[in-house]
Amino acid sequence: MKSFLLLPLFLLNIAPRGNSPSFVDPTGTYILKGEIKKNRIVGHYGELRVRLLDPETAAFCFYLNAGYPNYASVSLMDTLKYVDNRLFYTGKRDSSCSLVLNFTAKNVELMEIYSNPQAGCGFGSGVLIPATFDKTSSDVPIIQDLSRKGQG
């Protein structure tokens, strides 16, 4: 008889949960470290700062640099809807391309969704890449223009 009473509890534990992922507070600072060779950063590197304003809105600033030899870079700052642990950014210069920032508790994955891979989402070819930024702090960051970050 006891086994029948425990069966509903067991089934509740293994039953599929809703498709909605558990909420991740994206607030914090995320870093992408480039590879260093001969005192030069040869891989992509960057920084992302996010501040959750309410459960459905986040402000962010973003900087990504392609590294040596041309050090091409992109920077963004905006306030976007935060849905299912993701921020979606569509640029004003190229509406055929979107950036998706997919957050977990430990990192954020940057992805591009585009119709023309050569366009580079309006930022130039090769500057934006799919990348994973590691979370380095959960403190509330300062949201500011990072476009001059790579300059001395």
Question: Is the whole model's pTM more than 0.85, yes or no?
Answer: no
Residue 49 CA to residue 27 CA, distance in Å, equals 8
Per-residue pLDDT of the chain (152 residues; tens, 9 = 90+): 444 333 333 333 434 445 667 999 999 999 999 899 999 988 999 999 999 999 999 999 999 999 999 888 989 999 999 999 999 998 777 778 889 999 999 999 999 887 776 666 767 777 888 999 999 999 999 999 998 775 54
Residue among 111, 143, 107, 116 at smallest CA distance from 128: 111
For the chain, domain boundaries: 21-137
What count of Cα atoms within 13 Å lies in the side-chain half-sphere of residue 35?
4
Q: What is the architecture of the domain spanning 21-137?
A: Beta Barrel (2.40)
Rg (CA), the chain: 20
